[in-house]
Structure 1
């Protein structure tokens, strides 16, 4: 029966080529949307690594490049005043803020292997005040002052990737090509810190310590304040007035971590939603095309169907033939799309598409296309089996 159906499809290849093309394009787009949605859903459900509630970010703009000699004193004055406010639970400094797309990528050899990681800079107590979970060692402390190393804390993924068989605490590594730079010493290991939010891919991460008394060549970009109780937008004017009274030559942009998070989620969900609408329209077009082709085929094959009914073909066999033809047509289009899509995980064209993601997305896409195909074939097949043999043979 399959060979018979294949021959029928081949004999009408000109009329079927458009439908096959639509199926191929729709299948690829549908696969991409399902794959991206699945990938982001898995990322969203991973632990974020810190608490974002009741925390505001104050972005600093000094008007020119950071001047360590003068700007650190103004920064210190702002931090001291903010810490004295009764409504503020903690004040933390960070170079690259959370829930933003900016990041700092670094590398350094470890045990003869080049390590690549994202890095950031915070003051001494910021991480523990933000609820970051320590799993080994300790946080930054005064005991690190004046030492012959640069104290760092890294996440568990950093340890798993570059120090899988070693005790990471107090492990030191430097850059042989730059011996004048102090070696780095791991003083603690934290669980994770997904700086760029729920949709960011977890990876090796490192924090260095910012000491406000010493300052830094690049300074810090943000002051983050955690409130004891939630604050409304009305408090922003009060806070801005306070900041300008201390540093009138600086510009401040105040935003809550909650708003940043919501904006970042929208930036991911909205494009996926628009793409989903496009896929829905493509599916509707494919469904209409399949329905039209089936209806036209049945109208043209009235005599064939009537003759088969006259010689004893059952309603079930007629229905299976019609549904089988359109299923073979759909599977042919899916096979063409599969040839292109399998290249993605094989050649690692997109690193985010894992094999598990690929097979699940493929199964979901195949199921969706075949379901639409079967639904489109039900009514025309029902019409065909209800046709009287006498009426069909009247055309002979």
Structure 2
């Protein structure tokens, strides 16, 4: 049966070659679209590495006030910590979770190993209580680091694997390019995907900072973990305390949940557009295949009539057309897979191997399902052609 199908396909090689080329191109485009969608879904399923619920972000700006910023900020943190309903307060840099701010560098070195591009965060001893990062090795910052000879840092597993491989990261000392600065790793956290829900788990490093002179950091950011169920009453109370302590500093508040939703809407826009492009492509491929199959039937009525006159059943005719279409699809998809497999081999996009494999499988499944659906009705129509009618028309 398979040999007979290949013979029929070879006899109509020109038309089938164009059909295979269309399927190959459609498969490749679907693979690229699937790759991006699968990668975003894969990232979405990964652990965030922190708990954003019930965390509020306060941005305080001293403006032109240059009088004892450090002391004012210290008093502010103490006042907020003493407020009923507040669980913990941390002072950090502006690149908070779901913000549009970044602080990245590749300056870190360990022996001859260069760090990947790493997002750097300012952190104090309370951040782990506010954001709930999961420490998997070593510890988070504490008072033991006050007397440290090297700047204490905590890294995520992605950074640790890139820099130290299978070695333990805790205790390792990092330097910069000129070996003028040194950082010592005191702990490793599981992950930290703070960009958005679809962000990849990239290298991250937290550098310990106690309340230093904030003039070097611009706007100052406080993250406050509140008790579940806290609402507008506590928010207004905290804003009043900020204004009372800072005496004129500008302050605004957002919840990380609100920031997350804002960032999610922005990230979903290109994904929805990508999905619409993929849907439009599938629709066009379906219409093209359906039209080609109908044309094939109209051109092969004499062949169908002769086969029916020789005793072929309607089911046999239907299976023949469906089988031809699936064989042509297999040849087209095989060519597409040969192109797609180059992506992981060449490291295009730098995605995990399982993402490429899943995207190939999804594109293959879509193409086969599409061709089977498009071939079903024309093959049934071919099976219903009466031999006398077909031969008389010829």
Identify the residue that residue 202 of structure 1 maps to in structure 2: 201
- Cα distance, 1:227 vs structure 2: 0.6
Identify the residue that residue 142 of structure 1 maps to in structure 2: 143
Choose from 76, 80, 104 the match for 2:74: 76
Segments of structure 2 that go 5 or more residues without pairing to the other structure are none
The answer (yes or no) to whether the contact 2:314–2:383 under 8 Å persists in 1 is yes
The answer (yes or no) to whether the contact 2:88–2:129 under 8 Å persists in 1 is no
Deviates more, 1:319-328 or 1:234-243: 234-243
Separation (CA, whole Å) in 1 of partners of 2:167 and 2:337? 44
- Cα distance, 1:223 vs structure 2: 0.5
The aligned runs of 1:1-396 (5 Å cut-off) are 1-12=4-15, 17=18, 23-63=23-63, 70-95=68-93, 96-106=95-105, 107-116=107-116, 117-164=118-165, 166-175=167-176, 177-179=178-180, 181=181, 183-213=182-212, 217-218=216-217, 221-233=220-232, 236-247=235-246, 249-352=248-351, 354-396=352-394
Deviates more, 1:73-82 or 1:366-375: 73-82
Change (3 A) 1:22 1:265: farther
Deviates more, 1:111-120 or 1:89-98: 111-120
Separation (CA, whole Å) in 2 of partners of 1:386 and 1:256? 65
- Cα distance, 1:177 vs structure 2: 1.8
Separation (CA, whole Å) in 1 of partners of 2:198 and 2:269? 13
Change (3 A) 1:30 1:176: closer
Deviations 1:134-173 (A, max 9, x none): 2333332233225432122222333333234544433333
- Cα distance, 1:98 vs structure 2: 0.9
- Cα distance, 1:91 vs structure 2: 0.8
Deviates more, 1:185-194 or 1:47-56: 185-194
Change (3 A) 1:372 1:250: same
Deviations 1:353-383 (A, max 9, x none): x332222221221121111211221222112
Separation (CA, whole Å) in 2 of partners of 1:136 and 1:4? 64
Separation (CA, whole Å) in 1 of partners of 2:166 and 2:296? 67
SS of match in other structure, 1:57: strand
The answer (yes or no) to whether the contact 2:58–2:221 under 8 Å persists in 1 is yes
Segments of structure 1 that go 5 or more residues without pairing to the other structure are none
Change (3 A) 1:309 1:169: closer
Change (3 A) 1:350 1:165: closer
- Cα distance, 1:178 vs structure 2: 4.1
Separation (CA, whole Å) in 1 of partners of 2:189 and 2:156? 5
For the aligned residues, what is the CA RMSD? 2.9
- Cα distance, 1:254 vs structure 2: 1.7
Change (3 A) 1:365 1:310: same
Separation (CA, whole Å) in 2 of partners of 1:112 and 1:261? 38
- Cα distance, 1:92 vs structure 2: 0.8
The answer (yes or no) to whether the contact 2:130–2:223 under 8 Å persists in 1 is no
Separation (CA, whole Å) in 1 of partners of 2:139 and 2:338? 52
- Cα distance, 1:214 vs structure 2: 5.4
The answer (yes or no) to whether the contact 1:169–1:188 under 8 Å persists in 2 is yes
SS of match in other structure, 1:187: strand
Separation (CA, whole Å) in 2 of partners of 1:315 and 1:147? 84
Deviates more, 1:3-12 or 1:127-136: 3-12
